[in-house]
Structure 1
């Protein structure tokens, strides 16, 4: 497909990082989406019907456009301007990968409009260089459960699609910027603490892959990389965790840097857990989520997107 073939849609899933001890290395794609409807235009123009997105720039200064323009420039290309309708059901600054999905969207936009011919591996490296770690961007790009490492300019990931669990997100009205949540983390870890923390993370991976949900939940609670430092910023965390586990959740963890809390349950149990949590925490948004296994997707759109 080429840009001259008509309008097209870029669809990117949300993501949750860490799952407890998988700090900056583990992410899961979620069935909330950032959606761009794109057509070539005389100038860069972005618009949205969503109130949450209306304060963003409406020209090439829009974050997604900036990522696209900068990505194309790395390959010596200047992008044709586009008119872009941006819609999203991913809450901003809530730990659900809204910035990572925007980064992937920008890279997909550059690849499609600029006809760069990027592989997924190249897209991942570009996104990881921007984000700093591959957990959220990897999940949004590949879908499923992603485990990755970014070292010395190289990124390695394993994408897992044969896994099934559900999550119920507890999303507060208040936002929490990642930079603020990272500000409470320790600057360094002792050798012994690093061994302990990595062993917990390793067991979490093994438990998830073997569908030993009870053990997976236990490892989520044992995280020492980031959750003990971030929990004081999330005053409702302990109440949610205690209640969710009493209602059938096998594990509870901060979604990324927070403040959203994810309650994990076996497949098919999410709706009942959502109902219970909604009753217990009426002042917050409670949403049952499933794993998105498609990842980022670009497809042709036949209908006109502009009025």
Structure 2
């Protein structure tokens, strides 16, 4: 039996559309093994209501098996922990893709090199930011060049904590992309390029007073933000409580606020404020995960 642990991830992080991703210490966990017959898909030991053709873990495994012409008789997949909320911009689909490919590779005898795993995960997901972070951990800048995923990983500053504000409504990546324009002005592209470059420098040099500027964006947040009620007032309140910067996590609906680890009052202050909202919000204090997907063999 394989135990697969995969971290959540926050993507885009303001100006890094489809290229910035960071793993967080919130996890989905899976038990997976090859069997002699049948396909069994469970959630906490109970039969899942998700059809196999919509099961991203299973379908990711199948794609890996097909690439290497691996024949299997049956599979057992049990989602034992599902702490990453669905359709909230925290990489839930990336956890399933990463788990499926890594488990399939282990079953096949670890014949897939890292590059092939990254390429296949990105092919399934459609963009590299979340899956690279889920697989490799840390803060990753990633892109696709000639059908090959290239990425560079850095360790985020240990002084920073990421407070995820998670509402009780979903936003799918597909619907989040439909609201984006097909073309952008040059000045908007320069706006994003400069801030994306500055964010990496700030992470290295710990110039935290510049973080709010780094998370500014004109590519996706102005359009997706219209679907998140009270976004501006929530960000302004977070700033008042000491947040160093704010951004929409992935395509939403989660909002991410970045605070210094010594800001011990932020959590309670923000919780009390969010209780005044019409929509129900949950807040989680998260740290970067630097390990990525982990597989252990158990009985």
Match of 2:3 among 5, 9, 12: 9
**CA offsets 1:113-134 (integer angstroms, 9 cap, x no match):** 1224222222111111222221
Match of 1:176 among 155, 158, 171: 171
The aligned runs of 1:74-89 (5 Å cut-off) are 74-86=67-79, 87-89=81-83
TM-score (norm 1): 0.90
Q: Match of 1:132?
A: 126
* 1:279 is aligned to 2:276: no
Name the stretch that deviates more: 33-42 or 225-234: 33-42
* 1:22 is aligned to 2:16: yes
Match of 1:195 among 185, 190, 199: 190
Cα distance between partner residues in 2 of 1:301 and 1:268: 39
Question: Is contact 2:19–2:143 with CA below 8 Å preserved after alignment?
Answer: yes
Distance verdict in 2 for CA 1:162–1:291, change over 3 Å: closer
Cα distance between partner residues in 2 of 1:153 and 1:60: 26
* 1:122 is aligned to 2:116: yes
Moved over 3 A (4+): none
Question: Is contact 2:89–2:250 with CA below 8 Å preserved after alignment?
Answer: yes
Question: Is contact 1:50–1:88 with CA below 8 Å preserved after alignment?
Answer: no
Question: Is contact 2:31–2:77 with CA below 8 Å preserved after alignment?
Answer: yes
Cα distance between partner residues in 1 of 2:265 and 2:56: 38
Q: Match of 1:301?
A: 298
TM-score (norm 2): 0.92
Question: Is contact 1:80–1:113 with CA below 8 Å preserved after alignment?
Answer: no
Cα distance between partner residues in 2 of 1:260 and 1:174: 9
Q: How far did 1:83 drift?
A: 1.4
Q: Match of 1:4?
A: none
The aligned runs of 1:265-276 (5 Å cut-off) are 265-269=259-263, 272-276=265-269
Q: How far did 1:21 drift?
A: 0.5
Cα distance between partner residues in 2 of 1:198 and 1:162: 20
* 1:209 is aligned to 2:201: no
Q: How far did 1:22 drift?
A: 0.8
The aligned runs of 1:215-230 (5 Å cut-off) are 215-220=210-215, 222-230=216-224
Aligned length: 292
Q: Match of 1:68?
A: 61
Question: Is contact 1:72–1:116 with CA below 8 Å preserved after alignment?
Answer: no
**CA offsets 1:260-285 (integer angstroms, 9 cap, x no match):** 0001012343x532221111112211
Local SS of the residue matching 1:37: strand
**CA offsets 1:221-253 (integer angstroms, 9 cap, x no match):** x31111111111111211211111111110000
List gaps (5 residues or longer) in structure 1.
Answer: 1-6, 303-307
Local SS of the residue matching 1:84: strand
